[in-house]
Amino acid sequence: MPYRCDVIDPPKTAVIVVDMQNDFVAPGAALQSRQAHAMVPRLAATLKACRDRGMRVVYTAHAHRRDGCDMGLYDDLYPPIAARASLVDGTPGVDIYPELAPQPGEHVIKKHRYSGFFATDLDLILREWGVDTVVVCGTTTENCCHATARDAMFRNYRVVFLSDATGTFDYPDIGCGAMTAEEVHRATLSILAFSTAHVMSCEELLARSK
């Protein structure tokens, strides 16, 4: 049976805010997730409550150098990245969306793949803090949030995945059928709940961590 995090110990818990950057969240951005934009007020309020309870908050930001030396296959997958119009390190698009800006002393982990753990020092930082539980939120549900949650579980962290503080975008039909953002989100939550994380709402998280 899937594991549960019925009691969450704030001093041993870190909230990982995945890729809530201007290029994914701001209106008009080429890679915008409307679900991510819509959840900003809820996530901002939840982060404040988590900080008040003593949880650590750490951010990830997906970014690539302009010369493409860390690009991998992303220029094949996403035209705005290939055109260097999105996720270019050192540009405002890579910055965390202002309403969710890190507080003084909070870290932003630059990453070059979906997972916040791949080729970064996130695991090192969490272990230095004595963290054993991570709360995953942000965008996109099925890619960067999913990959980060999976990699956390592989490293023996207990994983909480916030159902109403994660979001994605519509998927076009490229041969296997189109999916709406709502369908992608729901399917990913079902998969994660069975195999990887305790999926819960922001309200449930706060109720379990007083």
Q: Which is catalytic among the residues 5, 50, 137, 144?
A: 144
Q: Which is catalytic among the residues 5, 23, 50, 111?
A: 111
Q: How far apart are CA 164 and CA 200, in angstroms?
A: 8
**Buried b or exposed e, range 10-25, using 16+ CB within 10 angstroms:** beebbbbbbbbbbbbb
| Peptide linkage before 91 cis (omega within 30 of 0) | no
Q: How far apart are CA 138 and CA 107, in angstroms?
A: 16
Whether 9 is a known active-site residue: answer no
Whether 144 is a known active-site residue: answer yes
Q: Which is catalytic among the residues 5, 19, 151, 202?
A: 19
Q: Which residues are catalytic?
A: 19, 111, 144
